[in-house]
Amino acid sequence: MITTQSRECAKIAPMAEVEATGAPPTDTEPVLTGREGAVLTITLNRPDKLNAFNGAMHEGLRAALREARADDVRAVVITGAGRGFCVGQDLTEFRDAPDDIAERLRTGYHPNILAIRALEKPVIAAVNGAAAGAGLSLACACDLRIAADSAVFVPAFINIGLIPDSGGSFFIHRLLGYSRAFEWMASGRRLSAARAHAWGIVNEVVEDEELSSRAAEIAATFAVMPTRAVGMTKRLFDGAASRTLEEQLEVEAQLQSAATKTDDFREGVAAFLEKRDPSFTGR
């Protein structure tokens, strides 16, 4: 289980509030961030609600993803506090008649999903427990998923008469193809971490108590890669499905041209020729 207690935790709060109070970080905020070198860990922190989304958590995640844009952050981990990863919308907010859901999605969920895809660096979901509904979509919006053995993946939408949202229909279709994606999303059945791994949704499954250290290890490995080329690789794959081969070849040519202008390309070639390990700076 990942906790940020052992790391340097930063309270995610509106800048004005931070500046006004100079308040030290607390662990009661709905989203926590912690830095270890070039890795930023974002922890969804409503453990008593299995990290279900409410307005404050959207806001906190938005601020954390802004923090992740810093040049000296070269890999990001998103995980959940307690026994859940994220179970999507906090349904207790819908005891009375729901408000305008489309607007809630546009203003709460969409900016964070788009922000993850816009980050020019790898984002790793460390799925420590249930990923359900929009929490499943969030995990699938990340570039890699590492799961604890006891994690479950639940397309909870259909179980309450809803459709996949927050990018779920996009990412899960892309990960699984139509047949499996439709069967899973329309049946609502829980997938174990092992089954999610067998289906290719999850990159790796580890023992529960090893999740935090393994996610940190993977993130640290990415954090010393040529970050700009990693970001451009993400960009290439994001657009690949909607481009023709000719268009994709052209985008590859343009991004490769940009890649050859980076310090890391020069360092990579020099290290190869000098028969030494490269030291990439992410520039």
The residue ranges that bind ligand LHQ (CB under 6 A) are 49-50, 52, 87-92, 101, 104-105, 130, 132-134, 154, 156-157, 160, 162, 165
Contacts for 35 with CB less than 8 Å, ≥ 6 apart: 7, 8, 10, 41, 73
Cα–Cα distance between 158 and 189 in angstroms, integer?
9
Cα–Cα distance between 195 and 95 in angstroms, integer?
33
Least distance from ligand LHQ to the Cβ atom of residue 101, Å: 5
Of 13 and 134, which CB lies nearer to ligand LHQ in the complex structure?
134
Of 147 and 225, which CB lies nearer to ligand LHQ in the complex structure?
147
Q: Nearest 5°: phi and psi at 206?
A: -130, 165
Least distance from ligand LHQ to the Cβ atom of residue 162, Å: 5
State the catalytic residue, choosing from 71, 72, 100, 110.
Answer: 110
Of 122 and 135, which CB lies nearer to ligand LHQ in the complex structure?
135
Least distance from ligand LHQ to the Cβ atom of residue 198, Å: 20
Q: What DSSP string describes 220-233? A: HHHHTS-HHHHHHH
Nearest residue by C-beta to ligand LHQ? 88
Least distance from ligand LHQ to the Cβ atom of residue 129, Å: 7
State the catalytic residue, choosing from 58, 143, 165, 264.
Answer: 165
Question: What ranges in the chain are assigned the alpha helix state H?
Answer: 15-21, 55-67, 101-104, 110-118, 134-141, 168-176, 178-187, 193-199, 211-223, 227-240, 245-259, 263-273
Annotation says 263 is catalytic = no
Least distance from ligand LHQ to the Cβ atom of residue 168, Å: 8
Cα–Cα distance between 128 and 80 in angstroms, integer?
6
Contacts for 103 with CB less than 8 Å, ≥ 6 apart: none
Q: How many CB atoms lie within 10 A of CB 183?
A: 11
Query: For residue 197, which of 134, 159, 151, 128 has the smallest C-alpha distance?
Result: 151
Alpha-carbon dihedral sign for residues 146, 74, 264, 234: positive
Of 152 and 223, which CB lies nearer to ligand LHQ in the complex structure?
152
Least distance from ligand LHQ to the Cβ atom of residue 108, Å: 7
Cα–Cα distance between 134 and 33 in angstroms, integer?
21
Annotation says 110 is catalytic = yes
- The residues assigned a catalytic role are 110, 165
